[in-house]
Structure 1
Amino acid sequence: MNLFADIRALVLECLQGMVAGGQLPEGLSFSNVTVEPPRDAAHGDMATNAAMVLAKPTGQKPRDIAEALAERLRADDRITSAEVAGPGFLNLRLAPGVWQGLIGGILTMGAEFGRATLGQGKRIHVEYVSANPTGPLHVGHTRGAVFGDALASLLEFAGYEVTREYYINDGGAQVDVLARSVYLRYLEAHGQEVAFPDGTYPGDYLIAVGEALKAKVGDSFVDQGEQVWLADVREFATDAMMDLIRADLKALGVEMDVFYSEKSLYGTGRIEEAIDDLRDKGLIYEGVLEPPKGKKPEDWEPREQTLFKSTEHGDDVDRPVKKSDGSWTYFAPDIAYHYDKVQRGFDALIDVFGADHGGYVKRMKAAVSALSDGAVPLDIKLCQLVKLFKNGEPFKMSKRAGTFVTLRDVVDQVGPDVTRFVMLTRKNDAMLDFDFDKVMEQSRENPVFYVQYAHARVASAMRKAAEAGMPVDDATLQAADLSLLDHEAELGLAAKLAEWPRLVEAAAHSNEPHRVAFYLYELAGTFHALWNKGNDVPSLRFVQDDPKVTAAKIALARATSVVIAAGLGILGVTPAQEMR
């Protein structure tokens, strides 16, 4: 049920009629014809750009096309007015019965209202968080986790089959550093005084890991060389960190379908298989890269390396996959990992990276393009930094983590619902200020409270109606006489609800879950405005003496809560039944 799609279909039908009537030439493409909310609500309920996009290919004046189209649209019972504006935009107003019928439709469909078929069951892979398993997740990971999880839920709501995946970076040197850091805590657990050299991890979170290692192996590693304990401690420490990370994600309400180990790519032939695939396509060669642009590093020297011809797939320069000493570069296992994704048969891939991975975008897109022969698109979303504030000051680092603020620090302060919503109040590539005081305020300036308050107000109105002896079950509300909703503020709220299916498709198409948070804030504002009008106009209050009028008004409120709950569900936020 998508009113904007319905009216667009009407516009296209009228345009086809104009073609048949000789007012427009045959062979026109209507793919760029849109129907959307006007920028200024005073101009109407919907607007179409049909005349503007058809003027050039037809050689006609936009206003002439718009006038002819308007005449045809006015013949439909759903259209009460069609007015040409400016150079040729066409503003439409819909009959009250359209909005009233929408309310009934929402109540009938319930949580299914707004679900799209955009994905058509296509398989899409979303990789997010993928933090090094060397410690607890920090606030930057929190934003990526929330964004990736909400995006996955949005895509599912839009009809895709989604796989959520965490790539465990357990194949690099940082895991050896973790093992050495845990070994120091292990020695500490045996009563030895230790010092943490630069480059190791001094956070208190490794104290328990060191003690657990002692409980497992006793003193068998004490005063032994790395050749004795490094491999075992590395595996033990990585498992312990992943248990910690899983617990952190669970506290945030994030559950992964797959945890994929980078280490599984080494020594198994998987990296070689991926590189051989590129070699078979003529994209691997031995060569020497040009020196870096700008000031040449003093230690730079031309070295022959094994290179991926990524420039043939949109990259700026070719990229090394094997060093001159024969070892793989960091890029090689990433190629192998994405080769594995392609081989698993996904129709599209999405990677959610931190802002510091901006330099990886072109090379990774080039690799996927080459590996899939251009058949599998890769979208890479970069999440910018989060600045934390408390009491007007930057929030200090976590003592437990040693060097950063953890995900748990944030969730423990404000809870998972507030954390998730606030992380989506800015587009992913924009900096985000997270003020612990402001996100707990009960004011319009706090979007979390504002949206939750709207849902809680609906629940309050329904309780009040029930206490007055008026049934508020969905069956009763679906049978309500919705023609009694005739005030412009009530119809305006219905019009805002009508935007939900369109918003879902647009947000899913662009992979931008923050649009859901923005829409919910606007919807809450429209609902609160109607509620507040009831203070001055008693007839607009949701609970009236007349049961029939109350049923109609509660139906509108209930429809609003259905949409708010659906949107919050995508964001991973629990709708509030009351505010305290």
Structure 2
Amino acid sequence: MNLFRHIADEITAALRAMEAAGELPAGLDLSAVTAEPPRDPAHGDIATNAAMVLAKGARKKPREIADALVARLRQVAGVTGAAVAGPGFINLRLSDDFWRARLADVLTAGRAYGDSTLGQGTPVNVEYVSANPTGPLHVAHARGAVVGDALANLLAKAGFAVTKEYYINDAGAQVDILGRSTYLRYQEALGQAIGEIPEGLYPGEYLKDVGRQLAQLDGSKWLNQPEDVWLPELRAFAIDTLMASIRDDLDALGVRMDVFTSERALVQSGAVEAAFQALSDAGLIYQGRLEPPKGQKPDDWEDREQTLFRSTQFGDDVDRPLKKSDGSWTYFANDIANHHDKFCRGFAEMIDVWGADHGGYVKRMQAAVKAITSGKGALDVKLCQLVRVLKGGELVRMSKRAGTFITLRDLLDEVGPDVVRFTMLTRKNDAPFDFDLAKATEQSRDNPVWYVQYAHARTRSVLRQAAAAGFGGLDAATLAAAPHARLTDPGELALIKLLAQWPRQVEAAAQAHEPHRIAFYLYELASQFHAHWNRGKEESGLRFVIETDRDLTLSRIALVQAVGFVIQSGLGIFGVPPAEEMR
């Protein structure tokens, strides 16, 4: 039960009753009416803006609407107080019994508590990682992988039909460079002296492995062959080899894609020509010249007639070229085809997770999606800012194997996948992030991963303690039927109220496409649970297990189990297994 939606429905029913009674004009748009926690908990349990947002349409003063609405809301089951604040905001208070009844909601649903039908099965495509297959994944890729995967899981929990997709950028100049770099390492593997790696080729030692594998497979087959013979073969071999490594790294991180789409295959299928024709038929392609970028003119600037897409009609800053001077397609044209292909596969809702260096590309891609889908599709882009890896506050040196960056595998070997996944979600994706290896593994409340896991481990410890004390019947159904009215301590009620917010948190985070909100919520829940645990150590009457009072113990164990279920639910979104015990 999303209690905020439940109260919103009660408010809507009261407003419709007011319309029927002639207290409000009929047919008011109630879509902007909200029911949410007040900014200051001292004001009550739920606040609604109903009177404020309806005043203009009703041609009444907000206070007049609020006074009439409050009179009706006081009759709603579970409401013990309704008051008007300021110019017309309404604050509601709910009974302790209403809050305690929410424990049964949690215990009945178990780990599925918070599952929502908000998405109504709407298909959503979440594309993330999508790194060029020219080397191993690095820590910035790790952040995009974690954000994308958690967002996809969050949307699935909120009732959307999610497809996780990796777009393989295996077309264009960068994979030709990869093929030439592989040829150099192949020559090296066969005993030839290659000297210094020429500028413009990939220097990472990871390509030594690729060269050795090729030499073992084909021997000297490609030596002394012209480039146009060996380049397509070595390029494909290197892409396949490095993509296998990338898949292994993602698997180690717990990221498993539903779909891998090849840019090269998409281009060869004629998808770019199809997208271009669709834009042309819509009158969105023309031949023209572009003004040079503002400021200093680039050395490679060409003042020439180009094939342009009218992206400014859809919110972009300038129109964009779709063909290069040699007549081949631009990367942008290929990307339009990629998103057109997604739309044709049934995805009107698309989310891309990109690195921060793609920030200037967002407007044009969103414009393209609007154009190619005739306004029926929408693209949200989540930009992930850079990650610095620190140890004890000192910047960690680059990986020798990668040549220029710290690999995802380095990070996983250092702290493990669960720590990487949770830690990467403790900041909003568009905020710079310092991943401190020391802090990520320390056992303190300053480490959110440990702090939340410790809270779950403590819930398991309480259940084991209760069982050892002879309390049977600790299954969820029995605990849901326990006499929860015995939970009267303010700390217990505060925990219940926070647990009851979980379904709203899931829906709000899903609607905003912000999985980091889940990390913040879990940390707050862990903090409250630890605080209540500590009170029990100081005051024996607040302990969870009271051997002489079975009913009170069962009620408190119900609360503990509910905390455990919600933590499990949240960690499930992150793809992190909950800890049974901490050593």
TM-score, normalising length: structure 2? 0.96
SS at match of 1:322: coil
What is the match of residue 490 of structure 1? Answer: 492
Q: Aligned residue for 2:105?
A: 105
Query: Which of 570, 573, 576 pairs up with 2:573?
Result: 570
C-alpha displacement at 1:494, in angstroms?
0.8
Worse overlay, 299-308 or 337-346: 299-308
1:35 equivalent in structure 2: 35
Contact 1:484 1:549 in 2 (8 A): yes
Q: Which moved more, 1:74-83 or 1:417-426?
A: 74-83
Report what 1:329 is aligned to.
330
State the AA in 1 paired with 2:579. Answer: A
**Residues 483-525 of structure 1: CA deviation (Å, up to 9, x unaligned):** 1112221111111111111111111111111111111111112
Corresponding residue number in structure 2 for 1:12: 12
Q: Which residue of 2 aligns with 1:509?
A: 511
Match of 2:564 in 1: 561
SS of the aligned residue for 2:117 comes to coil
Distance 2:248 2:508 in 1: 33
Name the SS for the 2:321 alignment partner. Answer: strand
Number of the residue aligned with 1:411: 412
CA–CA distance in 1 between the matches of 2:568 and 2:82? 34
Shift, 1:223, TM fit: 4.0
1:525 matches 2:527: yes
Q: Comparing 287-296 with 236-245, which one deviates more in the overlay?
A: 287-296
Q: Matches of 1:95 and 1:485 in 2, distance apart? A: 13
- Counterparts of 1:189 and 1:324 in 2: how far apart (Å)? 38
CA contact (8 A) 1:251 1:416 kept: yes
Closer/same/farther in 2, CA of residues 64 and 402 from structure 1, 3 Å limit: same
- Matched with 2:371 is 370
Q: Partners in 2 of 1:163 and 1:62 — Cα distance?
A: 45
Are the aligned partners of 1:306 and 1:322 in contact in 2 as well (CA < 8 Å)?
Answer: yes
2:442 maps to what in 1? 441
- Aligned equivalents of 1:135 and 1:350: distance in 2? 24
Structure 1 distance, partners of 2:252, 2:119, is 30
- The equivalent of 2:202 in structure 1 is 201
* CA positional deviation for 1:529: 2.0
Matched letter for residue 575 of structure 1? P
1:224-268 deviations in whole A, cap 9, x for unaligned? 432332111111111000001001101110001111111113343
**Structure 1: distance between partners of 2:219 and 2:79:** 80
Q: 2:537 aligns with which of 535, 538, 545?
A: 535
How far residue 124 of structure 1 moved from its aligned partner, in angstroms, is 0.9
Gaps of 5+ in 2: none
After superposition, the C-alpha distances for 1:12-61 in whole angstroms (9 at most, x for unaligned) are 22222333344333332222111111112222221112222233333444
Give the partner amino acid of 2:163. Answer: T
Aligned partner of 1:173: which letter? A
Aligned to 1:96: 96
Find the counterpart in structure 2 of residue 150 from structure 1.
150
Q: In the alignment, residue 388 of structure 2 is paired with which amino acid?
A: K
3-state SS, counterpart of residue 256 of structure 1: coil
Pair 1:184–1:408, CA change in 2 (3 A): same
**What displacement does 1:555 show?**
0.6
1:306/1:324 contact within 8 Å kept = no
Partner of residue 249, structure 1:
250
Partner residue of 2:120? 120
Letter in 2 for 1:324: S
Q: Deviations over 1:48-91 (max 9, x none)?
A: 12222233333444334333322222223301122333333222
Q: After TM superposition, give the deviation of residue 538 of structure 1 in Å.
A: 2.0
Amino acid at match of 1:572: G
CA RMSD of aligned residues (A): 1.5
Q: Which of 454-463 and 269-278 deviates more?
A: 269-278
SS in 2 for 1:381: strand
- Change in Cα spacing, 1:22 to 1:270, as seen in structure 2 (3 Å) is closer
Q: Which amino acid aligns with 1:369?
A: K
Cα distance, 1:321 vs structure 2: 0.5
Counterpart secondary structure, 2:93:
strand
Q: TM-score, normalised by structure 1?
A: 0.97
Per-residue deviation, residues 410-464 of structure 1 (Å, max 9, x unmatched): 1111111110111111111111111111111211111111111111110010010
Instruction: Measure, in 1, the Cα distance between the counterparts of 2:25 and 2:302.
Output: 65
Please point out which of 550, 555, 579 is paired with 1:552: 555
Aligned residues: 580
Moved more, 197-206 or 223-232: 223-232
In the aligned structure 1, how far is the partner of 2:478 from the partner of 2:366?
Answer: 53
Q: For residue 74 of structure 1, what is the aligned residue in structure 2?
A: 74
Aligned to 1:25: 25
Name the counterpart of 2:184.
Answer: 184
SS at match of 2:322: strand
Counterpart residue type for residue 34 of structure 2: T
1:526-578 deviation digits (Å, cap 9, x = unpaired): 22222122123322211111222111111111111111111111111111111
Distance apart, 1:367 and its partner CA: 1.2
What amino acid is the match of 2:544?
F
- Counterpart AA for 2:533: W
Counterpart amino acid of 2:212?
A: E
Which of residues 459, 476, 479 is equivalent to 1:477?
A: 479
Provide the secondary structure at the position in 1 that maps to 2:26. coil
Shift of 1:190: 1.8
For 2:85 and 2:543, the matched residues in 1 are separated by 36
SS of the residue corresponding to residue 325 of structure 1 reads coil
Q: Post-superposition shift, 1:299?
A: 4.7
Q: Distance in 1 between matches of 2:25 and 2:280?
A: 51
Structure 1 position 222 matched with structure 2 position 218: no
Note the alpha carbon deviations across 1:280-335, whole angstroms, 9 max, x for none.
Answer: 11111111112222223355342111111111222111110012331211111111
Asked if 2 retains the 8 angstrom alpha-carbon contact of 1:127 and 1:148, the reply is yes
**SS in structure 2 of the partner of residue 429 of structure 1:** coil
Distance in 2 between the 1:347 and 1:317 partners? 25
Residue matched to 1:379: 380
The answer to whether the 8 A contact 1:304-1:324 is kept is no
Q: How does 1:297-446 map to 2 (within 5 A)?
A: 297-446=298-447
Give me the whole-angstrom Cα distance separating, in 2, the residues matched to 1:336 and 1:54.
44
Residues in 2 aligned to 1:253 and 1:483: alpha-carbon distance in whole angstroms:
42
CA distance in 1, matches of 2:67, 2:185: 79
Distance 1:273 1:85, change over 3 A: same
**Paired amino acid for 2:443:** Q
Match of 2:261 in 1: 260
Letter in 2 for 1:136: P
What percent identity do the matched residue pairs reach? 61
Distance between the aligned counterparts of 1:441 and 1:38, measured in 2? Answer: 35
Q: Give the AA of the match of 1:533.
A: R
| Distance across 1 between alignment mates of 2:233 and 2:186 | 13
Distance in 2 between the 1:4 and 1:412 partners? 43
Instruction: Say if 1:77 and 1:95, in contact at 8 Å, map to a contact too.
Output: no
User: Aligned AA for 1:294?
Assistant: G
Residue in 1 that maps onto 2:582 = 579
**SS where residue 437 of structure 1 aligns?**
helix
Greater alpha carbon shift after TM alignment, 248-257 vs 55-64? 55-64
TM-aligned CA distance change 1:184 to 1:265, over 3 Å: same
Taking structure 1 as reference, are residues 347 and 328 closer, same or farther at Cα in structure 2, changes over 3 Å only?
A: closer
Q: 1:297 to 1:505 in 2, by over 3 A?
A: same
CA distance in 1, matches of 2:247, 2:276: 32
Check conservation: 1:454, 1:527, Cα contact below 8 A. yes
